[in-house]
Structure 1
């Protein structure tokens, strides 16, 4: 008898993974690939629908080639949220999908931010450049012909859901990103009205729970992907929720931190609270909320620095078959005890402020080495997470903090984060958190487990605990206070540039 597995597809802004897990959460096979997108104009970030589907199909075919001895029993997808996809009457994309890295609608977001009190009272969140409502409002102003032909709008994972199952819809976690009433967790006419988009309420997609089976793999999809014909497809969910689940955060009081392209910091609650400091969104079922404070300012800053300025080290590591980022910890370790006042603002791709702030180093002098800059980047990433986390801890009951992301593989950065937060953090052993969380949703959907808590208990990975380090705290806590002070002082310059 073949071992049964479920497949979780996890699609990020720069890469995608399809991972097969058995019912105990063991990785049986995985396949990774790039996640193609275009930047046709400054501030634009888009993805062609056919290219997107071709990349996902290719990834799935390669994965299925590794599963000949296994029985696939279900599949689901999570993907980067926000942004927007728009389909016509023939269910074809009217234009490339717009990604959450896109900032073309920055001025539009400022316009609707003037309604912040009304937005908070209805939707539980303000306007941001990447939010679906803001982008749809931008399209209404700049591409009215597109919206005139629109027959449905959705999110990235919903587009892949459509290609897998031929069904159109979304789920609670995605639907609550703009037009939901945060209290009753359903579409609200007033929310559409606040964004001057009343006409779009009629084409709002049906909303499922992430675990709902929405269709099955048909013959054409089987040919494209290699997935077995007839297996169920679940609705899926926003990748930040999938990442939290994969990290072991499934119930109120748990705070999940994801250090990737975005600084994602989110706490689960059984009652909603609203603030300008976070988005109050729905979690996996009605009666649960995911309160998230985010900005595109995390470990992608380290990736940019290494890819742009450390090519020799990367090439040597690849030829040696070792971790290409291993030299980072080594260089930081060599200077870790040196006095250094360098600060780094990790705003290469965006920031948590309401202005177009720049990334920069402050405090560099001639005696500093590259290790000092890398240490400052590590600290800057931790500081931006703390900037988001502090309001969540102050306003919600937080029993534990779980952290995932590539930078958690460092032997140094997790200690910095725990120390500046002055709280222990837990890091799961399984690195494929988004795919694992999605696979758990699939396992519940097909009836293998009664609910998510049961699935998480059976499939979740062990975690290691990182405690605050008093020696690190001696320098990092004052450095964070200086970071906030300087950020406030520079703010007027960013605003006026």
Structure 2
């Protein structure tokens, strides 16, 4: 039994978790705790990443996962880390955290606007594949202008997956998949871009060393072992960004399309070259495997919207009734009774990705019929699910246009793929067959594969994929009649989404998010299907 298990540690948008795997890819033990990101006092749009409390949470879930697996720390051959993209941490020369933010921090609006007016944002997109709305250039400039003492003391920078590895080892490094989400990377070179650091007037010296995913970056220190319950000296292996590791966990290769359904939804394709959209809609990042890149369209909070619906409507009622019913099971049971089109209800929770102008409409539900029988929660839930599918479809069509190919089959992974209804809606809206893998949480599985390679338990990443990738649990085929019907529903949703965005611009409603550094103050029109 000894040394035949590895651990993945995952800092997601909404939670931190640790999962122990064996070498077949089976989960042996796990632990997870939800977290929230505190609002930065006096900073409009600012959200902090609480490294003290979140670090303690990570330590707890590591210890709890080992206990849940009924193993000892000595049985863990290696650990690796993964996280949400874009968020990063700054350290002083002694390794103390000076500042940290999650991916959804939006404080640097003015700085992003300055970069756009100076046409630096265009340069960042051409070289780094992403815009400046939620990436490091604008945030670092905000720090320089608002808290210059932080920038003056900063000696090291790391993405959030790097932060967890640094807590365990004291080493500073990143991999291309996480590092490229900073928008300070040269995608072609798979390394930091001197040109972008110079263009944004930032100090290249704070950037960590770049290693490829699967390399050992250090060992668990004595202090980290005491905090977390890991064994001192356990190898810590470079992991990477959550979406790319989800694709690795699925065993996906260049030329395939995958929908990753977590708090945000990512419709992705893998290519053997950086695929930069001249229209700056989807973005491109490095994949974890050398020689591969990922282009994605992001569904803003598609999965989180259903969690919000649960927290806002169902959980308070279920707790009052002292019910043991699983709230997500109840949501699906109510939504499945509602026909396509959600009985006329439209949820405006997000808009298709437009990197340089990604306005998000006000969270709204429109079109209720007061004379309709039955609980309206089912319509709300179905409308949220359909919006997620509409966004995925819009992104799929754009990715097919860019790549010059059609993707007849889409793998759907992540928490949103667990039920029966949502995958069926995605199949019906897109008109494509959906494959659901047995293992839904493939981000952590991909991370575990890298840990196993770094520990020498597999000779190559391909060998780890062959041994640990799960088979397809089920296939969901579209209903052709519903696919045709959904075209009108999706086009209606597009018009209503633009309409609510316009009301936001008029000051009548509050947008869920306004982009920093946008090319325009108005939302980009949504393409009809």
**Does TM-score exceed 0.5, indicating one fold?**
yes
Extract unaligned runs of 5+ from structure 1: none
Separation in 1 of the partners of 2:35 and 2:239?
18
Q: Deviations over 1:246-283 (max 9, x none)?
A: 2332x101222222221222211101121211222111
Q: Which of 383, 388, 404 is the aligned partner of 1:381?
A: 388
Separation in 2 of the partners of 1:76 and 1:292?
24
Separation in 2 of the partners of 1:338 and 1:88?
53
- Find the residue that maps to 1:284 and give its secondary structure: coil
Q: Which residue of 1 aligns with 2:520?
A: none
CA shift for structure 1 position 476: 1.7
Q: Which of 159, 174, 178 is the aligned partner of 1:174?
A: 178
- Show the 5 A alignment for 1:163-312: 163-177=167-181, 178-197=183-202, 200-249=203-252, 251-275=253-277, 276-312=280-316
Q: Which residue of 2 aligns with 1:38?
A: 38
- Find the residue that maps to 2:400 and give its secondary structure: helix
- Show the 5 A alignment for 1:52-451: 52-69=54-71, 71-95=75-99, 97-114=100-117, 115=119, 116-128=121-133, 130-177=134-181, 178-197=183-202, 200-249=203-252, 251-275=253-277, 276-312=280-316, 314-315=318-319, 319-320=323-324, 322-336=325-339, 340-347=343-350, 353-355=357-359, 357-368=361-372, 369-396=376-403, 397=405, 398=407, 400-451=409-460
Residue 333 and residue 186 in structure 1: after superposition, are their counterparts in 2 closer, same or farther (change >3 A)? Answer: closer
Residue 469 and residue 453 in structure 1: after superposition, are their counterparts in 2 closer, same or farther (change >3 A)? Answer: farther
CA shift for structure 1 position 209: 0.8
CA shift for structure 1 position 68: 4.9
Separation in 2 of the partners of 1:302 and 1:67?
30
Separation in 2 of the partners of 1:3 and 1:179?
38
CA shift for structure 1 position 111: 3.3
RMSD of Structure 2 on Structure 1 (CA): 2.4
Extract unaligned runs of 5+ from structure 2: 508-529
CA shift for structure 1 position 407: 2.4
- Using the size of structure 2 for normalisation, the TM-score is 0.87
Once the two structures are overlaid, the 10-residue window that deviates more, 155-164 or 118-127, is 118-127
CA shift for structure 1 position 206: 0.3
Residue 447 and residue 482 in structure 1: after superposition, are their counterparts in 2 closer, same or farther (change >3 A)? Answer: same
Separation in 1 of the partners of 2:501 and 2:185?
32
Residue 356 and residue 142 in structure 1: after superposition, are their counterparts in 2 closer, same or farther (change >3 A)? Answer: farther
CA shift for structure 1 position 386: 2.1
Q: Which runs of 4+ in 1 moved over 6 A?
A: none
Separation in 2 of the partners of 1:374 and 1:304?
10
Question: Does the CA contact (< 8 Å) of 1:36 and 1:52 recur in 2?
Answer: no
Question: Does the CA contact (< 8 Å) of 2:341 and 2:486 recur in 1?
Answer: no
Question: Does the CA contact (< 8 Å) of 2:86 and 2:135 recur in 1?
Answer: yes
Q: Deviations over 1:388-438 (max 9, x none)?
A: 222112222446422123222222111111111111121111133221110
Q: Are residues 1:486 and 2:491 paired?
A: no
Q: Which of 480, 493, 503 is the aligned partner of 1:470?
A: 480
Question: Does the CA contact (< 8 Å) of 1:313 and 1:324 recur in 2?
Answer: no
Separation in 2 of the partners of 1:204 and 1:35?
27
Question: Does the CA contact (< 8 Å) of 2:361 and 2:498 recur in 1?
Answer: no
- Length, aligned pairs only: 490
Separation in 2 of the partners of 1:376 and 1:145?
47
Q: Deviations over 1:165-195 (max 9, x none)?
A: 1111111112112111122222222211332
Separation in 2 of the partners of 1:432 and 1:279?
23
